[in-house]
Amino acid sequence: MKPLSFLRQVLAGCVHPPLLDDLTLPVDVRQRAQTLLDACEERSVGSYTDSSGLDYVRQSIADFITRRDGAPCSASNVFISGGSQRALMVMVKLLAGTEWDVPTGVLTHVPCPLALPMLLDEAGVSLEPYELKKDQRWAVDVDELHRALTAARGRCKTRAIFISNPGNPTGHVQSRKSIQDVIRFAAAEGLLLLVDEVYQNYVFGDGVVFISYKKILFEMGPLYSDTVEMASFHSISSIGEGGLRAGYMELVNIDPRVMHFVDTMLCTDISTSVMGQLALDLMVKPPKPGDSSYETYTEERIHVEKTLKKNCWSACKVLNNLPGVSCEPLMGGIYLYPSVNVPPATIKQAKERQVDAGALYCEKLLQEQAVLVGPSCSHGPPPATHHFRFCILVPSDVLEEALRRIQKFHHNLLESNLVSVI
Say which CATH number the domain at 69 has: 3.40.640.10
Q: Are residues 101 and 168 in the same domain?
A: yes
Mean confidence (pLDDT) of the chain: 92
In this prediction, residue 32 has a pLDDT band, given cuts at 50, 70 and 90, of very high
- Per the CB < 8 A criterion, the answer to whether 379 and 127 are in contact is yes
Q: Are residues 140 and 223 in the same domain?
A: yes
Residue 381 has pLDDT above 60, yes or no: no
Residue 403 has pLDDT above 50, yes or no: yes
Express each pLDDT in 48-106 by its tens digit.
Answer: 999 899 999 999 999 999 999 999 999 999 999 998 989 999 999 999 876 667 889 99
Express each pLDDT in 150-160 by its tens digit.
Answer: 999 988 999 99
DSSP 8-state class, residue 375: E
Return the percentage of the chain with pLDDT > 90, whole number: 78
Structural domain total, the chain: 2
Angstrom distance (rounded) from CA 90 to CA 83: 11
Q: Are residues 178 and 58 in the same domain?
A: yes
Express each pLDDT in 125-136 by its tens digit.
Answer: 999 999 999 999
Q: What is the pLDDT of residue 22?
A: 87
Q: Establish if 20 belongs to a structural domain.
A: no
Q: Establish if 12 belongs to a structural domain.
A: no
Q: Are residues 71 and 160 in the same domain?
A: yes
Q: Are residues 72 and 137 in the same domain?
A: yes
The residue range of the domain holding 395 is: 302-421
In this prediction, residue 173 has a pLDDT band, given cuts at 50, 70 and 90, of very high
Q: Are residues 278 and 346 in the same domain?
A: no
Q: Are residues 93 and 171 in the same domain?
A: yes
Q: Establish if 358 belongs to a structural domain.
A: yes
Cis peptide, bond prior to residue 166, ω within 30 of zero: yes
Q: What is the mean pLDDT of residues 22-40?
A: 95
Q: Establish if 221 belongs to a structural domain.
A: yes
Q: Establish if 32 belongs to a structural domain.
A: no
Angstrom distance (rounded) from CA 317 to CA 313: 6
- Per the CB < 8 A criterion, the answer to whether 373 and 362 are in contact is yes
